[in-house]
Copies of this chain bind each other. A is one copy, B any other.
Amino acid sequence: VDATAGELVDALRRAGLRITAPRRAVCGVLADATEDHLTPKEILERLRERGLGSVDPSTVYRTLDTLSQVGLVHHVHLGHGAGVVHLSGGVEHQHLVCEVCGRVEDIPIDELRPMLAHLESRYGFVADGLHFALSGRCARHVE
């Protein structure tokens, strides 16, 4: 969540991967982002803003994929649209997405512990609380 571009790049290097300009660039964008959920499209835009418009969308996807495999980012679906990516390392959290306004609220995974424990003991199901968001209506948009 507060990793520097350098730390990300180092992690890639440690994983035996090659350090290329596009990878540096994507790491830079992720590290510098103030929000913690970015779509590939948003990443592309920021690359363009930085004069790195030559990086291809497919390269961004591939880079995010790589970062994900190395465990540096998580891939999350907040709703119907594009997936988003966020840096790992903070407290694991679940996402509450308001289906009306689209606002995303992060809640610490601990709040869901009891339910997760229940699902596990009752159904043997271990939820990956991160990958899909919970959809519903936020306080401002309950009917």
> Are B126 and A142 closer than 8 Å at their CB atoms?
yes
Instruction: Give how many copies assemble into the complex.
Output: 2
Interface status of A90 (Cβ within 8 A of chain B) = no
**Contact of A124 with B by CB under 8 A:** yes
Which secondary structure dominates where chain A touches chain B? mixed
Asked whether A118 and B111 contact (CB < 8 A) given A132-B133, A134-B132, A135-B131, the answer is yes
Q: How far is the CA of A140 from the CA of B112 in the complex (A)?
A: 23
CB contact list, A69-123 vs B, under 8 A = 77, 80, 96, 98-99, 105, 107, 111-112, 114-115, 118-119, 122-123
Interface residues on A, range: 20 to 34
Measured CB to CB, the closest approach of chain B to A126, in angstroms, equals 5
- Using a CB–CB cutoff of 8 Å, the interface residues on chain A facing chain B are 77, 80, 96, 98-99, 105, 107, 111-112, 114-115, 118-119, 122-129, 131-140, 142
A-B contact pairs, 12 of them (CB 8 A): A105-B125, A107-B119, A111-B118, A111-B119, A123-B138, A123-B139, A124-B140, A125-B137, A126-B136, A127-B135, A128-B137, A132-B134
